[in-house]
Structure 1
């Protein structure tokens, strides 16, 4: 965080800006959403944007631990009641790309989508998690509280122990992040 924010005030403002950059619905701004999701990844892991960097792979990749990485596709512009087979296949392809490039860690397939239900023709990757707008709002509340707690006193947000304690308290670390702020995909 020290590389992105100069003080607690800029941390709070930056936290708010992350969520304002993710727009749901037809007016979405995909690059803004992917960039915001990458910055949010600084809280729970080391983020990257392979598709942007290499022209292949997922929209976002977060190292949650040495053994686990979140492979994420953002579909915030979708307005359907189900997750289309093509979007499920895209996430599956990103998981395969990840597996081809990383033999040491296991992929956690994640998608930001307005629905948690897959089309009946789709075959979601095993363990797929969905961040819906409702879960995204819960995440926004948690990050807002997390940032406020860290910005409450000078340089607290630079204290590794305080950051770790607040991450754990708000369930923003490792796999807990996606088991709290995402839900399993369901058949339609």
Structure 2
């Protein structure tokens, strides 16, 4: 591969995933307080008249939104590691540089952007509603398709091209 940029993107993906977990450990209440604050502004929840029902909905929504922050962490670290592995793998293939670069960028960019659908759903979901927030930031979710395209191209190259041989 002629470009180091996909490797840098993969490392940034890993950094994002690890960084948020450090923040979780340092101040988990920050996230949970932001969720609670957002839920207090949620119009649909505020329309619920029955106090017990409202409390149950608030509790369930708080747990789901907290899980979205965790999904960002899980996806960023997991996909970042997968991207790094794929990049290293295809660097050893004797495939043409063009397809290797396309595959590298598709995998790295898609892998970097996809986890942000969960982060933005976590940030904006409490106030807007989880489904509305996911739809609003769906473009990041669609980047998972770009990542998947990169994986399929990697598979194609693995089947089509041999490993480089030393001269």
TM-score (norm 1): 0.30
Structure having the larger proportion of residues in strand? 1
Structure having the larger proportion of residues in helix? 2
Larger relative contact order (C-alpha < 8 A, sep ≥ 6)? 2
Q: For the pair shown, which has the larger CA radius of gyration, 1 or 2?
A: 2
